[in-house]
Amino acid sequence: MALFFRQEKLKFWSINGQGKIWGLVLSAAGALVLVLWEGPVLLTSRLSNIQATSDGVIGLIMIVVGVLATSFWNIMVKHVTQFYPAELSLSAMMSFFGTIQTAIGIVVTGLSYYVMTWSIKKNGPVFTSAFNPLLVVFSIVGAVSVIFGLYLILWAKANDMEKKEIVADDSV
C-alpha cells in the first residue's frame, strides 16, 4: 500500500529492494502458517471437515483485510499528523480502538477455553494435552518467519535511508 500511495520507493533489482520484497514474503508466509495450519480434526463427520475448510478461508480473508486495514491506517496517520498537530488526542483515539480490540481478544480467549473444556469432557485430558506441543511448534515457526521478514524490511529501509543521507550530503 505504501507503494500505491507513493509513500515508499522500490528499486526492484537493488539489494534493498530485494530485502523489502523477501521480507514481505517471509512475513506473509509466517502469518499464513499461523492462520492456515488447521491442526487435528476433533469431529469426524463430513460436515466438520467442510466447516474447518470454510473457517480457514474466512480466517485467511480476515488476516488479509486486517493487514490491509493496518497498512491503510498507518498511511492515514502520516497524512493526519501533517495537518493535525495534536498527537496526544490522536494517540488517545488509537488507544481507544486498541481497547476495543483487546476486549474482542478477551472474548476469543474465553471461547478457546470453552472449546478446550468441551474437548476434555468428550475425549479426556490426555487427548487434548497431546496436541499442545504442536501448537507451540507452529507458533514458533510462524513467529520466527514474521520476525525475520520484518528484520529484512527494516534492514532494507535503513539502507535506503543511509543512501538518501549520503546523496543529500554530496549535494550540499
Structural domain contains residue 24: yes
CB atoms inside a 10 Å sphere around CB 77? 15
Give the relative orientation of helices 15-36 and 132-171 as an angle to the nearest 10 degrees. Answer: 160
7 belongs to a structural domain: no
Q: Residue 66 to residues 119, 127, 137: CA-CA distances in angstroms? A: 30, 33, 24
pTM attached to this predicted model: 0.43
- Range of 36's domain? 15-85+131-171
Please check whether residue 148 lies inside any domain of the structure.
yes
Residue 113: inside a domain: no
Q: How many helices (H) and strands (E) does the chain have?
A: 5, 0
- CA 23 to mean position of chain CA atoms: 13
pLDDT at 103: 93
One digit per residue, the tens of pLDDT, for the chain of length 172 reads 767 777 777 777 888 888 888 887 887 788 777 767 666 655 555 555 555 567 667 877 887 888 888 888 888 888 888 887 788 888 898 899 889 999 997 998 888 888 888 888 888 777 777 776 677 777 788 888 888 888 888 888 888 887 776 665 555 4
How many domains does the structure of the chain reveal?
Answer: 1
| Domain assignment of residue 126, yes or no | no
Q: Provide the sign of the torsion angle of the four alpha carbons 29, 34, 36, 39, taken in this order.
A: positive
Closest listed residue to residue 160, CA positions, set 9, 5, 4 = 9
Domain contains 56: yes
In whole angstroms, give the CA distance from residue 114 to residue 110.
Answer: 6
How far is 80 from 90, CA to CA, in rounded Å?
9
37 domain residue, yes or no: yes
DSSP state at residue 45: S
Classify residue 140: in a domain, yes or no.
yes
Query: How does pLDDT run across 123-163, given as a tens digit for each residue?
Result: 877 777 777 667 777 778 888 888 888 888 888 888 888 77
